[in-house]
A and B are shown apart, each in its own frame.
Chain A
Amino acid sequence: MADVYTSASTELFKWVVSTLTRQGVNVGGTAAYPRAEVSTLTENGPSDKDNSVRSSALVLESISDRSLGEAYDINATNLALLQDADDTLDNYRIVGVVEGTISTMEDMGEASLVLYRVINNLTIYVSEI
């Protein structure tokens, strides 16, 4: 029984980034496009007395410098990859991934570059193994 609460954020972040990594899209901290980014990952406190089950709010951004359609495509692939991924981390298990809102944005980058962003809010439920 876990009496001390330990955060799953590190393992969860690594799981998301490695799951989203694929050819043709930069994932993580490069400046190139098209890109998929973990914009924020916020872990909420445990919801049971064993400090096992917790939910994390994940904001994924899919960014294209070509079109909104490409950004949407990246977002759809992100979700498909997360759905098909192995749900076991080192010390945790993914209980479920729930999709929340999606919003889009057109953004002026450096040197008048227009960027198209699709921002997806997800909730990931995780439990300790």
Chain B
Amino acid sequence: MAELGNVRRVYLTTAASGGTYTWLTGEQTNSFNRTSEAIEVSDKSTIWQQFIAGKRGATASVTVFIDDTNEQQQKVLKALHGGTTVYCFIGKVTTNSSSTTPSAGDLFEAIVTSISDTNDNGAVASRAIELTVTGEPTHYPTLK
């Protein structure tokens, strides 16, 4: 069923599974990109090219309004400065009184590869964050 991008948000969490999911405050847009190499294994048996899947990877992009006092944005900056990873979830969560759990989306560990601040005259200051996923992202609901 189709839904707006507004409900699929970026959350930072504290571990590869479980943990506390906190929205990356000021988020405007996000995107999540999965890729796979295609390794050519063509031979003379057919005129058509043949491939097998090679290395897989994923990247994510998020744009937020700059808030340097926000704990989540500070975590991202610290990860880039320190060369450490962050755990992120992009998608929808279910919140009840005791916890927040992912319901649809992708949970992953990532290196922060770029943080670009744009401070234009007459516009709200914004920050574009690029992440490169390390390892396999976990999809919710589980892939059948």
A98 at the interface (CB under 8 A from B): yes
Given contacts A1-B23, A53-B65, contact A47 B122 (CB under 8 A): no
Q: Which residues in B have their C-beta under 8 angstroms from that of A96? A: 124
State whether B122 touches A48 (Cβ < 8 A): no
Flag the segment in B24-32, B43-51, B110-118 that touches A.
B24-32
Q: Which residues in B have their C-beta under 8 angstroms from that of A1? A: 23
Compute how far the CA of A1 lies from the CA of B122 in the bound complex, rounded to whole angstroms: 26
A125 at the interface (CB under 8 A from B): yes
Given contacts A53-B65, A95-B124, contact A47 B28 (CB under 8 A): yes
Compute how far the CA of A62 lies from the CA of B105 in the bound complex, rounded to whole angstroms: 53
* Smallest beta-carbon distance A11→chain B, Å: 19
**B9, B23, B28, B122: the one within 8 Å of A123 (CB):** B122
Compute how far the CA of A48 lies from the CA of B23 in the bound complex, rounded to whole angstroms: 12
State whether B124 touches A49 (Cβ < 8 A): no
* Smallest beta-carbon distance A5→chain B, Å: 10
Compute how far the CA of A47 lies from the CA of B9 in the bound complex, rounded to whole angstroms: 14
Interface bin, chain A: 10 to 19
* Smallest beta-carbon distance B64→chain A, Å: 8
* Smallest beta-carbon distance A68→chain B, Å: 26
Question: Which residues of chain A from 5 to 52 have any CB-CB distance to chain B below 8 Å in the complex?
Answer: 47-50, 52
State whether B122 touches A50 (Cβ < 8 A): no
Q: Which residues in A have their C-beta under 8 angstroms from that of B9? A: 49
State whether A49 touches B122 (Cβ < 8 A): no
State whether B124 touches A53 (Cβ < 8 A): yes
Q: Which residues in A have their C-beta under 8 angstroms from that of B103? A: none
* Smallest beta-carbon distance B126→chain A, Å: 9
B6 at the interface (CB under 8 A from A): yes
Given contacts A95-B124, A125-B124, contact A49 B65 (CB under 8 A): no
Q: Which residues in B have their C-beta under 8 angstroms from that of A123? A: 122
Q: Which residues in B have their C-beta under 8 angstroms from that of A98? A: 122
Q: Which residues in B have their C-beta under 8 angstroms from that of A47? A: 28, 124
Question: Which chain B residues have a beta carbon within 8 Å of chain A's beta carbons?
Answer: 6, 9, 23, 25-28, 64-65, 122, 124
Selected A-B contacts with CB under 8 Å, 9 pairs: A1-B23, A47-B124, A48-B26, A49-B9, A50-B25, A52-B26, A53-B124, A96-B124, A123-B122
Question: Which chain A residues have a beta carbon within 8 Å of chain B's beta carbons?
Answer: 1, 47-50, 52-53, 95-96, 98, 123, 125
